[in-house]
Structure formats: C-alpha cells, structure tokens
A and B are shown apart, each in its own frame.
Chain A
C-alpha cells in the first residue's frame, strides 16, 4: 500500500514486480533502527512509546504468575496491553504446542519447555537483548546455586535453557547466546501439613505413606510433578533406589508406581488434587492433614486462620522454575514489544511481587530494590519478621516475629534434591501414572 503511493505512474506490471522490493527494504531498515534505539536507550523515545501502546501481547500460562496486577502495572509502565489466559499445567502444554498462533508469550515451566521447545513453536531469544541476563541466578545458567553446590536431578532448568542457534530447536549442552525462555520464577516445594491435626514433627518424605495418616494424605495428580513427589517418598522410605530420579528406568517407574498403588489400595489417600484451589480446600477443610503442596497454597490456608506448615524435610526439596518464551510467529514491532516486556519483567517490580508470595525472582538484586528491608529479611534471609508481613494484595499473612518455614533462600534453594521432570520414558511413565490414578 505504501509502495503504491511512492511509485506513482508507470505500468502496473512493473509496479508489482519491482517497486515493492525497494520500499520494503527501506521500511525494514527504519523498523530495525527504531527497535535498536528502543532497546539501547532503555527509556523509550516518544515515537516508540506511542507505537508500543497499540501492541497487545497475548500471554498463556499457569495461574502462578498470570496475575492481573502484573498486566495493570505493565500497562502503566510500558503502555502495552497484556491479555492473559491462565490454565492448568497440562492444558498449558497442550495449548502452546497445538495452537501456537493463539498466544504471543508462553509463560511456562522448564519441564514443559522440554516438551514444547522441540516442537519448534517458540523462537530462540537473543540474550544480548536481555539487559539483566548476566544478573540471573546461576541456577539457570550452570545449574548451581553457588559454585560449590551440586546439580540437582531431574529437568534442571539450565539443561533446557539454551539452544544451538537462532533457528534451532535443539537444546545446547553449554550456554549460548540463544535462550529458549527467559527465567522469571522458581521455588522449592515440599509437603504441607496441618500441625494442629498431625501434632508432631514431620521430618521426612516417608511420612506421606505413614499409616498414621491413613485416609488423610493427598498427592498431586499432574504426572510430571506427582511422580517426583512419589519418587522422593519411595527413595526416603528405602523402597526404591534410583540412579537418577529425574530420568527413571522402566523398572524404577514400575517399582515407584507399585508402591503408590499399594498405598492407595490400603486407603492412604483421601483425594488427589490437580489445581491450586483444590489443594487449599482439602487442607483447610481438614479432609487432608499431609499432602504435596505449593508454597502460596500454604499461605492461602493460613490466610483463612487455619494453621498450616510447609515442612522442611531432611531429604531436601523438589524444585520447579518458570520463564517467558516468545511464540515463533512474532516479528517486528510485536517482537520488540515482547523483548521490552521481558526486560521490564526482570527490572524489579514483578520480582518483588513474586517474592512477596513466597516464590523467588530470577534476578534478585532488582527485586530487592523494590522491597522493604524487613520484607527482604523475612522472605529471603529467613530472619524473624521485624513487622507484620503483608502479601502483594495487601492482606496480612504473618505477624511480627514470624519466621519463614524452611528458612532463608540459600537454605531452601540450596537443598533442592530434584527438579520437576520430563523423562526419556515419559510416555511409559504417564501410562503407569494413570494406572495408579485408576487403581
């Protein structure tokens, strides 16, 4: 259309065959220039700011980080519109793989990346355009929290963080310039208990299958996560010995599932849960007194005035992590807006927002700047709260003097035993898991 305006006159065939090529190239140069200036200057120029206002990015992800407050804040700060869809874990994988044009940003977990990235629906991201990439927690780059800490088993994020090149969908063994996703969030999960009903200390994963809690235990029914909790339990109980929990052999899967089926038949489990809300209801109603749980679910139970404890266990934590991926179809202004959004995401406000819910942010320094020192000490340092602790929605969740369950960041993230996983025998495992659920 612009082409026609720029080449008045001349015959029609020439116009369509030659003229557009020239002008499109000129236009591309202009667009690239705009993108360059925007990403290097940080503060967007006026022209840029106005164009990005027209951009809508559609984000699909789990309920964990698809929060309206984030969309409101990004509208205030950058002007772009974020349209979010929250789904359960399995549905997110399904959506990202089968409907790649239905979203622009995939807010997914790293175990999902192992399934999603090889299908080629996401585009590798240029880490040189991510300003704070070098400030990232090293877990995502080397797999180690500190240079001396061990690499946990399972689908550790650094193993699926990089691809070979700009057009590759193959995971790279060592860090490259091209990232599958930009990390944003992670946490260490363990068992949640009702201390008022359990009435004693819980220190091992084996307690999930302790007959003492017959008919009062629950485990989550998302195969890739549930199998890891099951493995933690079986290993702690000495029922199964694993070479690598995160990549079990068929025999190890068989033994794990057999142990779980035996417990189920004996009436150990009250229910299985699939969504965050279900786990909160099971715990708050007292139907269940010990179960797999996610950190904010523990907070949600406590917010109802019901005691709930996120027990640190001697075998360590099961960890998970999530990040932002960009759909393959994004180009031009939309892609630039996506990079801008990701850079904004890491710049502190969201990090503080996530930390205040008990998650951890990928870039800690910037999040710290946006948090009150008392908040930082409570959430990250494991110190007693110097004042009442308030969640990001303004609700008081802990009184002055409280200490975070499990302690500081390094005590919790430093004791990760395995990550949520997708195994080589994934299909076999899922089949077996369904046998357990149906047994």
Chain B
C-alpha cells in the first residue's frame, strides 16, 4: 500500500487546523460542559448525568422534538416540491443563459433584506386585520378573519418555505444541468410521455441535488429558533427555542446536553439522507 506523499499532509494542514480550532474544539467543549453541574449561575465542573437524565425524563422534550420534526418534515416536503418545480423550469424551459441568470436573481429577492425584517413583514400581511384577511372578508369568502394565518404552525412553515426554497432550487438545478440532453431526446423518440421522462430520467438523476438541498433545509429548520418564535407568536415549541431558553436562563450545562442530543439527531437524519443517495456523483 502506498501512502500519500508527505506534501499532501502539509496541503491539508491548514484545513485541519481551522476545523480543529473552530469546530472540533468548541464541540468538544460543549460535550464536556454537558456533563457539568450548575448551581445558581455557577458552573460546577464535575461529571454528572443529571442534564441528560432531566432531558430524557421530561415529556416536554419528546413533545418538542416531535413538533420540531413535524415542522421540518412539512418545510422539507414543501421546499422540495417547490424547489424541484422551479429548478425544472429553469433547467429545461428557459433556453438562454441571460434569462436563467435574471430568473435566478429573482429567486434571491427574499434574501435582499434581513431575516428578521422579512418575518416582521408577514404580520401586516397575515394578521387578523392584515391584507389577506381584509381581501377575503371584502370578497365575502369568509365571515370571520382567519386566525390560523399568523402566530401558528402554518405561519412558521410558510416562513420556512419562503426562506429556504432557494437552498433546494440551487443544488437541484445544478444536478439537472448535468443531465445529458440526448437521454431526454432518446426517451422522447422512444415514445415516452413528458411525465414519464420526468419520472424515469429527471427525478432519478436529480437525486443528488435533492439530497443536498434536503440536508440544508432539514438542518436549518431543526436548529431554528428565531422563525419559530416570531412566526409562532412565542407559543410554538421547537428544540432550538428550548436551547435558547436554557441559555438565557444561564443553564449552560442543560443547554449543552440539549445541543449534543440535537446534534446526534440531526447527524442521524443527514446520515440517513446521504446513505439513500450517493451525493458524490454531484461532485
């Protein structure tokens, strides 16, 4: 067996140093802190399993995880469907590069303002006296304002879809652009309907893009707390929010234990996605 040349080690050294210093070390610190005890804001460096025991003993944890996973699943399904459709349109229906660029820029419009401003802007739109309710009331479609539009799970998922669809569009588009057009022509010549082309050629070959997009969306949603707090009106539970609460109450070891569990769960989900699809095809 021939090992890599010594120079190769030097080449990866900077990356290793950065990852060790800024990822491995902080994560290690969090894992260590999760076994510490705390007492009136003082951290007690010992080894206790109390933080994990409290976490797993509380039914709030399970309810919160279920709710977060539900939010993530809904956001994932919606962004995947939307992302695939948009990417398909961009890849197969828009012919010129200029138009593609223009339309891509349009997709990035939601990112031209800050996350917080975008979320606050939903309030006059979806609120009890907001635009949507006013229009529906004026047209006589509803007699009472729809309350579920704002400060609800619906609002949270809507904001997620608005925020994260682009993270699906880009990798799926990238996969689609690599599909050999002659494959599609051959299928069409062989008598395949457009729908069958999508099902048997486009979808299978875009899977790496879908997987990458899914990893983005799922990990972003699982760790989110700002969107859930603002769009859910502070009433919705989410794992990220639970961690933020512990942090603000200075219960660092508890927050650290929560973070470790969340990390394991998210890594599990990401791992599952990656075993289902060979993402390296993309690279």
Q: Is the CB of A285 within 8 A of B124?
A: yes
Q: Is the CB of B234 within 8 A of A271?
A: yes
Within 8 Å of chain A (Cβ to Cβ): is B281? no
Q: Is the CB of B151 within 8 A of A287?
A: yes
Within 8 Å of chain B (Cβ to Cβ): is A264? yes
Please report the C-alpha to C-alpha distance between residue A119 and residue B60 in the assembled complex, in whole angstroms. 30
Within 8 Å of chain A (Cβ to Cβ): is B147? yes
- Who on chain B is nearest to A286 by CB? B129
Q: A285-B124, A287-B128, A438-B60 are in contact. Are A271 and B40 (CB under 8 A)?
A: no
Please report the C-alpha to C-alpha distance between residue A273 and residue B237 in the assembled complex, in whole angstroms. 14
Stretch at the interface among A30-38, A90-98, A352-360, A411-419: A90-98
Q: Which of A215, A287, A435, A439 contacts B127 (CB 8 A)?
A: A287
> Which of A88, A215, A269, A285 has most chain B Cβ within 10 Å?
A285
Within 8 Å of chain A (Cβ to Cβ): is B184? no
Q: A221-B234, A272-B235 are in contact. Are A90 and B248 (CB under 8 A)?
A: yes
Please report the C-alpha to C-alpha distance between residue A430 and residue B249 in the assembled complex, in whole angstroms. 8
B66 CB, nearest partner CB in chain A, Å: 11
- Who on chain B is nearest to A121 by CB? B41
B159 CB, nearest partner CB in chain A, Å: 15
Q: Which residues of B in the span 118-156 have a Cβ within 8 Å of any Cβ on A?
A: 123-124, 127-129, 147, 150-151
Q: Is the CB of A115 within 8 A of B40?
A: yes
> What A residues does B42 contact at CB under 8 A?
119
Q: Is the CB of A119 within 8 A of B235?
A: no
Q: Is the CB of B234 within 8 A of A97?
A: no
Within 8 Å of chain B (Cβ to Cβ): is A437? yes
Q: Is the CB of B63 within 8 A of A438?
A: yes
- Who on chain B is nearest to A94 by CB? B250
> What B residues does A131 contact at CB under 8 A?
none
Q: Is the CB of A269 within 8 A of B235?
A: yes
- Who on chain A is nearest to B63 by CB? A438
Q: Which of A88, A119, A278 contacts B41 (CB 8 A)?
A: A119
> What A residues does B129 contact at CB under 8 A?
285-286
Q: Which of A90, A119, A273, A287 contacts B234 (CB 8 A)?
A: A273
Q: Is the CB of A281 within 8 A of B147?
A: no
> What B residues does A369 contact at CB under 8 A?
none
Q: Is the CB of A271 within 8 A of B237?
A: no
Within 8 Å of chain B (Cβ to Cβ): is A434? yes
Q: Which residues of B in the span 198-243 have a Cβ within 8 Å of any Cβ on A?
A: 229, 233-235, 237, 242
How many inter-chain contacts with C-beta < 8 Å in the A-B complex? 67
Within 8 Å of chain B (Cβ to Cβ): is A328? no
Within 8 Å of chain B (Cβ to Cβ): is A274? yes
Q: Is the CB of A438 within 8 A of B64?
A: yes
Interface size counted on chain A using CB atoms at 8 A: 32
Within 8 Å of chain A (Cβ to Cβ): is B245? yes
Q: Is the CB of B128 within 8 A of A264?
A: no
Within 8 Å of chain B (Cβ to Cβ): is A58? no
Q: A115-B41, A272-B233, A285-B127 are in contact. Are A434 and B60 (CB under 8 A)?
A: yes
Q: A90-B248, A91-B248, A438-B64 are in contact. Are A271 and B41 (CB under 8 A)?
A: no
Within 8 Å of chain B (Cβ to Cβ): is A383? no
- Who on chain B is nearest to A267 by CB? B147
Within 8 Å of chain B (Cβ to Cβ): is A118? yes
Interface size counted on chain B using CB atoms at 8 A: 26
Q: Which of A223, A281, A434, A437 contacts B235 (CB 8 A)?
A: A437
Within 8 Å of chain B (Cβ to Cβ): is A255? no
Q: Is the CB of B151 within 8 A of A281?
A: no
> What A residues does B58 contact at CB under 8 A?
431
Q: Which residues of B in the span 30-75 have a Cβ within 8 Å of any Cβ on A?
A: 40-42, 58, 60, 63-64
B149 CB, nearest partner CB in chain A, Å: 11
Bitwise interface map of A from 88 to 110 toward B, beta carbon under 8 Å scored 1, else 0: 10110110011000000000000
Please report the C-alpha to C-alpha distance between residue A214 and residue B42 in the assembled complex, in whole angstroms. 42
Q: Which of B127, B150, B234, B242 contacts A274 (CB 8 A)?
A: B234
Q: Is the CB of B124 within 8 A of A438?
A: no
Q: Which of B63, B151, B245, B250 contacts A271 (CB 8 A)?
A: B151
B160 CB, nearest partner CB in chain A, Å: 18
Please report the C-alpha to C-alpha distance between residue A438 and residue B40 in the assembled complex, in whole angstroms. 24
Within 8 Å of chain B (Cβ to Cβ): is A73? no
Q: Is the CB of B147 within 8 A of A215?
A: yes
- Who on chain B is nearest to A222 by CB? B248
Please report the C-alpha to C-alpha distance between residue A308 and residue B147 in the assembled complex, in whole angstroms. 22
> What A residues does B249 contact at CB under 8 A?
90, 223, 430
Please report the C-alpha to C-alpha distance between residue A285 and residue B64 in the assembled complex, in whole angstroms. 29
Please report the C-alpha to C-alpha distance between residue A215 and residue B148 in the assembled complex, in whole angstroms. 10
Please report the C-alpha to C-alpha distance between residue A94 and residue B244 in the assembled complex, in whole angstroms. 12
Within 8 Å of chain B (Cβ to Cβ): is A144? no
> What B residues does A439 contact at CB under 8 A?
237
Q: Is the CB of B248 within 8 A of A119?
A: no
B23 CB, nearest partner CB in chain A, Å: 23
Q: Is the CB of B41 within 8 A of A97?
A: yes
Within 8 Å of chain B (Cβ to Cβ): is A270? yes
Q: Is the CB of A287 within 8 A of B64?
A: no
Q: A90-B249, A437-B234 are in contact. Are A98 and B242 (CB under 8 A)?
A: no
Enumerate the 6 nearest inter-chain pairs by beta-carbon distance, A residue then B residue, closest first: A271-B233, A272-B234, A90-B248, A438-B237, A97-B41, A271-B151
Q: Interface on A for B, CB 8 Å cutoff?
A: 88, 90-91, 93-94, 97-98, 115, 118-119, 215, 221, 223, 264, 269-274, 278, 281, 285-287, 430-431, 434-435, 437-439
Question: 30 A-B pairs, CB-CB below 8 angstroms?
Answer: A88-B248, A90-B249, A93-B250, A94-B250, A97-B41, A97-B250, A98-B41, A98-B250, A115-B40, A119-B40, A119-B41, A119-B42, A215-B147, A221-B234, A271-B151, A272-B234, A272-B235, A274-B234, A278-B234, A281-B123, A285-B123, A285-B127, A286-B129, A287-B123, A287-B150, A287-B151, A434-B60, A434-B245, A437-B245, A439-B237
16 further interface pairs, Cβ-Cβ under 8 Å (given A285-B127, A287-B123):
A90-B248, A93-B250, A97-B41, A118-B40, A215-B147, A264-B235, A269-B235, A270-B233, A271-B233, A271-B234, A272-B235, A285-B129, A430-B249, A434-B242, A434-B245, A438-B64
Q: Interface on B for A, CB 8 Å cutoff?
A: 40-42, 58, 60, 63-64, 123-124, 127-129, 147, 150-151, 229, 233-235, 237, 242, 245, 247-250
